[in-house]
Amino acid sequence: MKTGVICTEHCYLHSGPGEDPERNRNGVEDEIFAGWAVRTLDENAVNGWIRVETHYGYEGYIPERAVCCCDEEELKRRQDKERFFRIGIGEADLLSEPKVQGLPLELMIKGSLVERLEKDLEDGWVRVRTAAGREGYTRSWYLEERRDNDRYFLDTKAEDPHKKRFFAYQEAILNGDEEAIRNAVIQSAERYLGTQYRWGGKSSQGLDCSGLVFMSYLEQGILLHRDVGMPEEYPMHEITEEELKKGDVIFFPGHVTIYMGEGRYIHSTAHIGDGCVTVNSLDPANERYRKDLEGKITGYGSIF
């Protein structure tokens, strides 16, 4: 098995290989951003599609052209948080010059990883290199610290079939300021308010319900299961309604939301009239109450 990084703007993970790299009738399962690491699971591609595993343990098929080879030493180098950063705004241009009149060279989506080559340039510009190898300029405040990492591929214990050893490192984060983490999860989700619903997406261009939950936690360094559910090897576990606090999640049939406290929850919904990330209420007297979800809660989950 080989490791690599996504070198296209982003790509979608499919449940199976398609007839060609440009079209795939198999379902979209996930979205992977530029600079994110993957591990190939098959030696050979099928019709230009290769089966991979993400750094959070999710499997599927992506176009082979979307992956650039990256050996283990390079992957270790990419863990340097003084050099590699996450794009923290919805979309950012990579420009040919450190000025707004620069030619756009590449679009960098929120969540993508870039290497900072020079900082403290005039007017807050920084020079960066994208996963595609392009070098250019962007604003320093567009970059945020990456809080997750690729330990899944670097830890020799990652072959544990239940991945429990890999996810154990997150316990240090959970032993921090619980209230701060809960608030940060909600704040991350709120930054996506108004973003359109997109099946399988988890970017500022569009995301689904579990994509919103995944990204809101990933931005705090917590890796969750990508789908609606709580596999035991991942850090989220079931709680009771009485234990529910802000930052925890509420499950409905095929749907998941983040509880905000005071009976409110934030979610990405395809519901007619919304079709985006929005806030609703559990209170029947509230105008944002979803009558169609009444009595359909299937469970509650927490990382604490």
Q: Give me the active site residues, please.
A: 209, 255, 267
Identify the burial level of 247 via C-beta atoms within 10 angstroms of its C-beta, where 0-12 means exposed, 13-18 middle and 19 or more buried. buried
Q: Assess contact for 131 and 6: CB atoms under 8 A.
A: yes
**How far apart, in whole angstroms, are the C-alpha atoms of residue 58 and residue 78?**
20
The residues facing 207 across adjacent strands are 197, 202
**How far apart, in whole angstroms, are the C-alpha atoms of residue 157 and residue 187?**
33
Q: Which amino acid is at 25?
A: R
Identify the burial level of 120 via C-beta atoms within 10 angstroms of its C-beta, where 0-12 means exposed, 13-18 middle and 19 or more buried. exposed
The size of the chain, in residues, is 304
- Output b/e per residue, 253-286; b: 16+ Cβ within 10 A: eebbbbbbeeebbbbbbeeeebebbbbbbbeeee
**How far apart, in whole angstroms, are the C-alpha atoms of residue 163 and residue 160?**
5
